[in-house]
Amino acid sequence: MVADGHWRKIGNRLARFYLTGGLRVEGPDGTFVDADLPGGQARLTLAALVLERRPLARDALAELVWDGDVPSQWSGALSAIVSKIRSLLGRVGLDGSTQLTSVDGAYVLSLPPDAWVDLEDAYRRLDMAEGAQRNGRTDQVLAEATAARATLRRPLLAGSYHEWTLAQRRRQDDALFRCMTLLSGAWIKRGDHQLAASIAASLVELDPLREVGHRLLMEAEWERGDRGAALRAFERCERELADALGAHPAEETRALATAIRG
């Protein structure tokens, strides 16, 4: 049984897991960072256990951690990694509320109900921002999307190029694109067309084949009175699609260009 006082500390969100911009775990008794973990495999193990939130079979976790190149002595190595993670969780006061257990040949990390994980919080805020946009609540869009972007812009497990990490980064990149789309559109509504154009230009660099970024840039430049810049944005859209896909802009994009010319 965990003492009531300990649960009150956890309730104040002292169980915090930062997976982006350098791994860091905060508990009621302190903090540990990625340098405290024994190498990249340990960082990846902890991140996978936190984000997957489900039992991971030992052999499947080994495949994930060693990216298919599993060493012959993987079982002992994985046990040592998990033991070190348990020790660090205990050191920061999370051993009573955050359980890293082995059940039926699988590892599972059970977090307290109100534990805070930076990426989970960013995805939740993005969902709230998209809901706010559908309901016309621009102030909430700006607040939630701005907070989400701050996390989504930070790299997950920098230096790791394992397939699991790359898949997580693809999800993160897509969320960042959606987040910045919301922000650019919201700043256009708020009348800050310079900021909207800056964010839209970043969208185009992030993924030049997604037309929504080009359209937002065209609209922002047009709204701030630079028709030439708006049309140059359309011309770039045409070039990017033609060169990469042999395609033309969608009707929505072409209609916006026609309106700008008119």
* pLDDT digits (tens), the chain, 262 positions: 333 333 334 345 578 999 999 999 999 999 999 999 988 999 999 999 999 989 999 999 999 999 989 999 999 999 999 999 999 999 999 877 678 888 889 999 998 888 999 999 999 999 999 999 999 999 999 999 999 999 999 999 998 999 999 999 999 999 999 999 999 999 999 999 999 999 999 999 999 999 999 999 999 999 999 999 999 999 999 999 999 999 999 999 999 999 999 8
Report the pLDDT value the prediction gives residue 9, as an integer from 0 to 100.
43
CA dihedral 103, 108, 114, 117 (to 10 degrees): 180
CATH architecture of 117-261: Alpha Horseshoe (1.25)
Domain ranges of the chain: 4-114, 117-261
Report the pLDDT value the prediction gives residue 53, as an integer from 0 to 100.
85
- Does the reported pTM lie above 0.75? yes
Report the pLDDT value the prediction gives residue 11, as an integer from 0 to 100.
44
Domain spanning 4-114: CATH 1.10.10.10: yes
| 7-to-27, 28, 93 alpha-carbon distances in Å | 11, 10, 11
Answer for the pair 170, 161: CB distance below 8 angstroms, yes or no. no
What is the per-residue pLDDT across 175-210, written as a single tens digit (0 to 9) for each? 999 999 999 999 999 999 999 999 999 999 999 999
Distance CA 114, CA 71 (A): 37
Report the pLDDT value the prediction gives residue 2, as an integer from 0 to 100.
33
Q: Within 13 Å and on the Cβ side, how many CA atoms surround 144?
A: 23
Instruction: Annotate the chain with DSSP letters as a single string.
Output: ---HHHHHHIIIII-EEE-BSS-EEEETTEEEEGGGSSSHHHHHHHHHHHHH-S-EEHHHHHHHHTTT---TTHHHHHHHHHHHHHHHHHHTT-TTTSEEEEETTEEEEEPPTT-EEHHHHHHHHHHHHHHHHHTT-HHHHHHHHHHHHHHHTSPBSTT---HHHHHHHHHHHHHHHHHHHHHHHHHHHHT-HHHHHHHHHHHHHH-TT-HHHHHHHHHHHHHTT-HHHHHHHHHHHHHHHHHHHS----HHHHHHHHHHH-
Report the pLDDT value the prediction gives residue 169, as an integer from 0 to 100.
96
Cβ partners under 8 Å of residue 244, min gap 6:
208, 209
Phi/psi for 102 (5° steps) reads -110, 120
